[in-house]
């Protein structure tokens, strides 16, 4: 990753999300926000993969399959997007599960669906 630290990258994604939400507001489908955020981040020079397959590992390292991250940025940050009234505990559990099983340390849960943008950062220890 070309960023000095993951916090700088998260700040960039957070600021870009705010700008996209300020323009588009709430009320669109999740895919519109995914495309808008990916577009703006790519224009800023970031490596952004949409619906990117990530391998899911079991505790012993066995490959179980894959899931698709809404956005995978700079090969180190999972971004899970929502377009709903409020972030629910299930959304948090989903992201933490993705982080754990894909062995990625940092994720952002971003909800464009409410009048006020919601961005939450989650960290998960990665063990080999």
3-state secondary structure string across the chain: CCCCCHHHHHHHHHHHHHHHHHHHCCCCCHHHHHHHHHHHHHHCCCCEEEEEEEEEECCCCCEEEEEEEEEEECCCEEEEEECCCCCCHHHHHHHHHHHHHHCCCEEEEEECCCCCCEEEEEECCCCC
At 72-84, the pLDDT tens digits run 999 999 999 999 9
pLDDT at 127: 65
The answer to the question of residue 96 being in a domain is: yes
* For residue 128, pLDDT beyond 90: no
The pTM assigned to this predicted structure is 0.93
The answer to the question of residue 128 being in a domain is: no
pLDDT at 88: 97
The count of structural domains within the chain is: 1
pLDDT confidence of 4, banded at 50, 70, 90? Answer: confident
pLDDT at 24: 97
Range of the domain at 14: 6-123
CATH code for position 86? 3.90.320.10
At 21-73, the pLDDT tens digits run 999 999 999 999 999 999 999 999 999 999 999 999 999 999 999 999 999 99
The answer to the question of residue 1 being in a domain is: no
The answer to the question of residue 49 being in a domain is: yes
* For residue 101, pLDDT beyond 60: yes
């Amino acid at each position: 990753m070309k960023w000095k630290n993951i916090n700088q990258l998260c700040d960039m994604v957070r600021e870009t999300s705010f700008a996209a939400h300020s323009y588009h507001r709430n009320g669109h489908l999740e895919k519109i926000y995914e495309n808008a955020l990916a577009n703006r981040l790519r224009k800023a020079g970031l490596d952004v993969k949409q619906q990117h397959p990530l391998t899911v590992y079991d505790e012993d390292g066995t490959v179980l399959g894959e899931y698709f991250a809404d956005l995978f940025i700079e090969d180190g940050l999972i971004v899970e997007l929502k377009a709903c009234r409020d972030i629910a505990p299930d959304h948090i559990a989903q992201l933490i599960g993705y982080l754990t099983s894909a062995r990625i340390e940092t994720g952002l849960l971003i909800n464009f669906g409410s009048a006020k943008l919601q961005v939450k950062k989650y960290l998960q220890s990665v063990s080999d």
